[in-house]
Structure 1
C-alpha cells in the first residue's frame, strides 16, 4: 500500500488522469443503470413471461433466430428495429424483454424503442448465450 501511495505522489499527473477516467466511467455506468433498460437473468425472464405476460423480442438475424430461440419470442432484427417499432405497439403495455446473442447489442435497440415511447423495457443479461448456458429450452424454426 505504501508503494501505491508513493507512486501516486511521484506521478501525480498519471494518478490524476486515472482518477478522472475512473470518475467518468463510474458516472456513465450510473447513468446507464438509472435510465437504461433493467437487466434480467434467465430466471427473471421466465418469471416475467409467466407472471406478467412479458414479450420476448429477439433482435438477432433471421438465420440465428431460426437456429434456436426462446419459446414465443418475436423476431425483430436489429437492422429493422426502428421500422418495426410500430409493429411492437400492441405490446407497449406489457414488459418487453430484449434478447440478442450475448447481451451486447441490445442496448441500442432498447434506446430506439425508448425514443418510440416504450417504457417497460428489459434486457436479458448474457443474451441467448446465457439462456443456452443455463440449459433452458430453445425452439428451432
Structure 2
C-alpha cells in the first residue's frame, strides 16, 4: 500500500489520468449493464426496425433542425412534462429518447418512467454517437403535417 501512495506522490498526472480512465470505464459498464436502459445506435436501429420503436428527440429546436433521427418526434426536455399526451399513443411501443450526448435524454427517460412509460431507452452517446456510426439523419423542423396528424389521432382516440 505504501508503494501506491509513493507512486501517487511521484506521478500525480499519471495518477490523475488513471483515475479519469477508471471513472469513465465505470460509467460505461454502468450504462451497458442495462441499469440506465441505454442503447447503442446499432441496437436502436434494430428496435426501430424490428419493434417499431418511436424516437423522441429532447434537444432544443435549433439543435433538432441541424440534424435528427428520421421520423423522430421533437419534444424539448423543458416541455416534456407538459407534452406527455403526445406520447400516450406510443405507450405500448418502445420509446428511444435522444439528445446531443445522452445526458438530457437520460433525464427524459427518468421523467417518462415516473409517468408510467415502461419501455423507454436512452440513446447512449446521443445524436453524436448516431453520427459517428454513420447512420442517416434528417434536417429541418418537424413537419406541421406530422404534428397535426399526431394531434388529430390523439383526439380521435380519446373521443
Whether these two folds match at TM > 0.5 is: yes
CA displacement at 1:2 relative to structure 2: 5.7
Which structure's relative contact order is higher, taking Cα pairs within 8 Å and 6+ residues apart?
A: 1
Over 3 Å counting, the alpha-carbon distance change for 1:5 and 1:64 in structure 2 is closer
Counterpart position of 1:135: 134
Q: What do residues 64-90 of structure 1 show as CA deviations (whole Å, max 9, x unaligned)? A: 111111111000101101111121111
| Runs of 4+ more than 3 Å apart | none
Aligned alpha-carbon RMSD (Å): 2.6
CA displacement at 1:121 relative to structure 2: 0.5
For 1:75 and 1:128, the matched residues in 2 are separated by 13
Counterpart position of 2:4: 4
Counterpart position of 2:64: 65
CA displacement at 1:62 relative to structure 2: 1.1
Counterpart position of 1:10: none
Structure 2 residue runs without a partner (length 5+) = 8-22, 141-159
Find the residue that maps to 1:57 and give its secondary structure.
strand
Counterpart position of 1:120: 119
TM-score normalized with structure 2 length: 0.68
TM-score normalized with structure 1 length: 0.76
